[in-house]
Structure 1
Amino acid sequence: MVVAPYKIPRSVLVVIYTPDLQVLLLRRALGDGLGAAFWQSVTGSLDAEDEPWAAAAVREVQEETGIDATAPGCRLHDWELENTYPIYPQWLHRYAPGVCMNTERVFGLEVASYTHVTLNPREHTAFAWHAWREAADRCYAPSNAEAILHLPAFVAA
């Protein structure tokens, strides 16, 4: 696997939730231009052009929360939803010249209640579990809020 010199404009969004639909939200670290108001699910770009979506989801969950998405009791599910949206201007410098759109693949990860979370302090400063509707209301990014609002339908499927 060859790591790209620029961020790849394909990313994963992983909604982590418990059987009773409590959703894990992470507060981004300061220094990204958005600060403490930016609550989100796990997100991250593919590390290489040939990295499978699911592998990126597992890697990002581990990096950001310390949760092993392949562990017994965890159930990662590709929701087969993709969002395409403009990259925030403050992050355009991370991408190749001329790249201004990102495609995001959405996953759900069911975990046991009281799953231990260990944050990566470079990325996040706090976490909280919220009922799914409240979690959607707290998300900064519209695609993240929309994904959480789909959660009950994907759990029932």
Structure 2
Amino acid sequence: MITYKIPVSVLVVIHSAGGQVLLLERADAPGYWQSVTGSQDAGETLAETAIREVCEETGLDAARFELTPWGIETRYEIYARWRYRYAPGVTHNTEHVFGMKLPAPLPVRLSPDEHLDYVWLPWEEAAARCFSPSNAAAIRQLPTRL
């Protein structure tokens, strides 16, 4: 039986108190950089999805840090290259943005099947490096949230 992704996801902008942002390079698309992101599992709240995805993708325990919903919801067309992960006919996803503030940049443990590398960058550079317009837009809001 095929298990399809639910077209509801979280985007977690992990940042330091000083405005450094963590970006991850996708394993399935080298050169594509993004924040932590992932689809909601059945029965999860959005906060539970964010906590799970942060742990899976970085090894960080979100319960130890300030994880805050930013109240940003973006509906976008799923990139054609990743639509096979969703039920037939699903073309759009709704993304919910969270921020997670760390006192300073920390090393992370990547999930090798998901990411190749990570980097901490000043928020302006991080926004410019993101392939996703909604991810870049969320990072550009960071100065008002510090």
Give the TM-score of the pair, scaled to structure 2: 0.96
- Which residue in the other structure is 1:117 paired with? 108
Match of 1:60 among 36, 50, 53: 53
SS in 2 for 1:16: strand
Match of 2:32 among 38, 42, 45: 38
Distance in 2 (CA, whole Å) between partners of 1:134 and 1:114 is 15
Unaligned runs of 5+ in 2: none
Distance in 2 (CA, whole Å) between partners of 1:81 and 1:114 is 24
> What is the aligned-residue RMSD (CA, Å)?
1.1
- Which residue in the other structure is 2:72 paired with? 81
- Which residue in the other structure is 1:28 paired with? 26
Please tell me whether the aligned partners of residues 5 and 86 of structure 2 are also in contact (alpha carbons under 8 angstroms).
yes
Distance in 2 (CA, whole Å) between partners of 1:47 and 1:16 is 21
Give the paired residue count. Answer: 145
Give the TM-score of the pair, scaled to structure 1: 0.89
Shift of 1:47: 1.2
Percent identity between the two aligned chains = 54
Distance in 1 (CA, whole Å) between partners of 2:140 and 2:74 is 14
Q: Would you identify which runs of 4 or more consecutive aligned residues in structure 1 move more than 3 Å?
A: none
SS in 1 for 2:51: helix
- Which residue in the other structure is 1:15 paired with? 13
